[in-house]
């Protein structure tokens, strides 16, 4: 995700990195060339003059803008729900870390809290990799014991298996009477919340916006953009290519942004900064445990995480 400091209004006009313009530029150039051809031939295809004027295009553009607004709202709702889930993940892991550090009665059990906290941190990284479809081996290997890593590495749904290991840790503490039944219940409540967060993220990643709806809107946007030059050529003449590209940029950019944030766990410019979130969760849990906080590189303005 790209986060920038607030830019001057004039500089914002020329921002390139992080905008969708680089992806759209080839399409806009093609439309610009088409518009020049339409102007040159006075809106004719062979000897047939395309009978379009701005009025129907204006009405159709208004309806299309409403549909694009709805599409963007749906995509942003998915993005914001994902962000809230990761905010809840931070709160839940902090609560579990505090409980495991403060609730056990014996000193030996308290000394084992680091292993539980490592499981919490590993669960966060495992969730990130599962959502992105990347390999979690390096992040898990340096935070888990060899036995835990061998067991988890062979599984498919690693965050869920790690939650099970945390449940085993709590059951073991209860069997040794390091915690009582009420404290065990409080642990289980937070583990349930953690499982709900994992399930919520999996729901977003596995349930895209219906494909037929995306295709319909995509086709409509581009059909409208390619008809624009024929409707404007008689009134705008050689200004047509510039006005058409400007209008097309607005419509096509909205569609591109909606596509980008529809799956908010990826690595595109406007997706969630999961790397930074994992590092922040790791740092706060280690600080709760009294350990030295790993150095986190300050993210420069305009970088992707």
Q: What is the mean pLDDT of residues 213-237?
A: 90
3-state class (DSSP) for residue 169: helix
Higher pLDDT, 156 or 55: 156
User: Which pairing describes strands 44-45 and 48-49: parallel, antiparallel, or unpaired?
Assistant: antiparallel
Does 7 have pLDDT greater than 80? no
Q: Is 245 within a domain? A: yes
pLDDT at 223: 92
CA distance linking residue 129 with residue 135, whole number of Å: 6
Of 11 and 231, more confident: 231
Full domain range(s) for residue 178: 9-288
The three-class DSSP label of residue 29 is helix
Cβ pair 194, 163 in contact under 8 A: yes
Phi/psi zone of residue 302: left (φ > 0), alpha (ψ -120 to 50 degrees), beta? left
Task: Give me the number of domains the chain comprises.
Answer: 1
Is residue 298 domain-resident? no
Mean pLDDT of the chain: 87
243 assigned to some structural domain: yes
Q: Name the residue with tokens 């409080």.
A: 186
Range 106-129 average pLDDT: 83
Higher model confidence: residue 7 or residue 268?
Answer: 268
* Mean pLDDT within 15-44: 87
List phi, psi (to 5°) of 41.
-95, 10
How far apart CA 211 and CA 166 sit, in angstroms, is 38
Task: Please name which of 302, 241, 254 lies closest in space to residue 31, comparing C-alpha atoms.
Answer: 241
Higher pLDDT, 89 or 112: 89
Say if 184 falls within a structural domain.
yes
* pLDDT of the residue at 222: 92
Confidence (pLDDT) at 73: 93
Check whether 111 has a pLDDT greater than 80: no
* Residue 123 covered by a domain: yes
Asked whether residue 302 is domain-assigned, the answer is: no
Does pLDDT of 57 surpass 70? yes
Choose among 132, 141, 124: nearest CA to 281: 124
- Residue 1 covered by a domain: no
Give 301's pLDDT tier (boundaries 50, 70, 90). Answer: very low
Q: Are 277 and 90 in contact (CB under 8 A)?
A: yes
Flag whether pLDDT at 19 surpasses 90: no
Identify the residue with better confidence: 202 or 300. Answer: 202
Confidence category of residue 179, pLDDT binned at 50, 70, 90: confident
C-alpha distance from residue 65 to each of 17, 19, 210, 216, 259 (Å):
26, 20, 19, 14, 16
C-alpha distances out from residue 64 to 4, 5, 272, Å: 31, 33, 28
Whole-number pLDDT of residue 20: 83
Half-sphere CA count of 177, side-chain side, radius 13 A: 0
State yes or no: pLDDT of 109 exceeds 60: no
Higher pLDDT, 79 or 60: 79
Instruction: Give the model's confidence band at 41: pLDDT under 50 very low, under 70 low, under 90 confident, else very high.
Output: confident
What is the rounded CA–CA span in Å between residue 224 and residue 219? 8
Share of the chain above pLDDT 90, in %: 52
Tell me what pLDDT residue 270 has: 85
Instruction: Report whether pLDDT(290) > 70.
Output: yes
The DSSP H or E segment spanning 266 is: none
Residue 244 within a domain: yes
Q: How large a percentage of the chain has pLDDT more than 70?
A: 90
Between CA 24 and CA 31, with CA 30 as vertex, the angle to 5 degrees is 90
- Give the DSSP H/E element, type plus range, for residue 49: strand 48-49
> Alpha carbon 114 to chain centroid distance?
30
User: Who has greater pLDDT, 50 or 150?
Assistant: 150
Return the pLDDT at 43.
Answer: 80
């Amino acid at each position: 995700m790209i986060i920038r400091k607030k830019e001057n209004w004039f500089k914002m006009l020329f921002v390139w990195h992080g905008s969708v313009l680089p992806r759209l530029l080839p399409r806009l150039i093609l439309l610009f060339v088409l518009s020049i051809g339409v102007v040159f031939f006075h809106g004719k295809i062979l000897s047939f003059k395309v009978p379009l004027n701005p009025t129907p295009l204006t009405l159709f553009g208004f309806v299309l803008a409403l549909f694009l607004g709805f599409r963007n709202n749906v995509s942003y709702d998915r993005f914001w729900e994902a962000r809230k889930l990761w905010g809840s993940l931070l709160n839940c892991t902090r609560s579990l870390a505090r409980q495991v550090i403060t609730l056990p009665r014996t000193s030996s059990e308290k000394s084992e809290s680091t292993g539980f906290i490592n499981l919490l941190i590993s669960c966060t990284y495992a969730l990130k990799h599962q959502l992105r479809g990347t390999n979690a081996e390096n992040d898990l290997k340096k935070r888990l014991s060899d036995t835990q890593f061998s067991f988890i590495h062979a599984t498919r749904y690693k965050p869920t298996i790690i939650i099970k290991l945390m449940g085993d840790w709590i059951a073991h503490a209860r069997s040794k009477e390091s915690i009582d039944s009420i404290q065990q219940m409080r642990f289980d409540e937070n583990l349930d919340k953690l499982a709900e967060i994992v399930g919520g993220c999996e729901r977003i990643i596995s349930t895209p916006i219906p494909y037929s709806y995306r295709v319909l809107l995509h086709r409509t946007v581009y059909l409208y953009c390619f008809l624009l030059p024929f409707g404007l050529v008689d009134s705008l003449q050689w200004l047509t290519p510039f006005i058409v590209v400007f209008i097309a940029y607005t419509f096509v950019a909205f569609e591109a942004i909606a596509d980008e944030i529809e799956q908010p766990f990826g690595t595109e410019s406007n997706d969630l900064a999961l790397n930074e979130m994992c590092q922040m969760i790791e740092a706060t849990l280690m600080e709760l445990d009294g350990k030295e906080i790993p150095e986190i590189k300050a993210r420069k303005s305009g970088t992707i995480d």
